Amino acid sequence: MRLGNLERSIMEALWDRPEGMLAQDVAEVLPSRPAVTTVLTVLVRLTGKGLVHRERQGRAHLYRAAGDKDSFVAEVMRAALDEAGDLETAVQRFVGTVSPEVAAALRDALEGRDGPRPRLS
């Protein structure tokens, strides 16, 4: 799921404040300083996408990210792989673009999932 610039900025603000935020507070921390009504519109859209939870707090609503940032990024990567015509080629091309640190993290994650692979002599 791709996010627009304002959606991404709002999600970043919510991920930074897991206790939740009012729409006015979100608007105040965004560098672009959008109108509160604009922020409310985007928060409603993000709630509809399942990325944000909303709960009544007095006359306002408190908004919280539905999950953490790492879970969101993992879902975006999984969805991108679902769109690949040739999964093996897509993975190989992706792996060819990552830093050695990311490659090591991928290896560690796969070993943790599947167990260590036997070494070839």
Q: What is the pLDDT of residues 18-73, one digit of tens each?
A: 999 999 999 999 999 999 999 999 999 999 999 999 999 999 999 999 999 999 99
- Residues 61/54, Cβ–Cβ less than 8 Å: yes
User: In this structure, which long-range contacts are made by residues 57-62, counting pairs with CB atoms below 8 Å and at least 24 apart in sequence?
Assistant: 57/22, 60/22, 60/23, 60/24, 61/22, 61/23, 62/20, 62/21, 62/22
Write down the pLDDT at residue 24: 96
pLDDT confidence of residue 114: 72
CATH class of 5-65: mainly alpha
Contact present, 35 and 23 (Cβ < 8 Å): no
Tell me which residue of 81, 78, 48 sits closest to 66, measured CA to CA: 48
Is residue 101 very low, low, confident or very high in pLDDT (cuts 50, 70, 90)?
Answer: very high
Look at residue 2 in the predicted model and tell me its pLDDT.
83
CA distance readout (Å), 54 to 60, 74, 104 = 10, 23, 38
| pLDDT at residue 25, as a whole number | 97
If one compares 83 and 7, the residue with the highest pLDDT of the two is 7
Specify the pTM: 0.79
Strand duo 60-65 + 21-22: pairing: antiparallel
pLDDT digits (tens, 9 = 90+) for 66-89: 999 999 999 998 888 888 888 889
